[in-house]
Amino acid sequence: PRRTAFALGTVGGSVVSGEELFLIEWRDNDEVWFTVRAFDRPVSALYRLVPRFVRGRRRRLFRAYLTAVSPLFAP
């Protein structure tokens, strides 16, 4: 398959520490796959005390990724 990818990570001073990988594959059967792999952990005291903020932010980001990549995805 043909594929391209990039990854990014947080830098000091961020409220979370983590990385994300974005991968797009165009497979031999003409399918296109978009993969996001991510992990993070709260660094900010507020985010450590209320982890649902981190989960909610992550959900909003993934929803935005899907909307940008696929016209079939409608939140």
pLDDT, tens digit, 9 for 90 and up, residues 7-64: 999 988 888 889 999 999 999 999 989 898 988 888 888 777 887 877 888 889 888 8
Task: Work out the average pLDDT over 61-71.
Answer: 84
Could you give the CA distance from residue 49 to residue 72 in angstroms, rounded to a whole number? 36
Q: Is the pTM of this model over 0.75?
A: no
Phi/psi class of residue 13: alpha, beta or left (left: φ > 0; alpha: ψ in -120 to 50)? Answer: left
Give, for 11, the enclosing helix (H) or strand (E). Answer: none
pLDDT at 22: 93
Reported confidence tier of residue 75, pLDDT bands at 50, 70, 90: low
CA distances from residue 9 to 28, 31, 45, 46, 50 in whole angstroms, order as listed: 31, 28, 20, 21, 22
Residues 28 and 41 sit within 8 Å (Cβ to Cβ): no
pLDDT at 11: 87
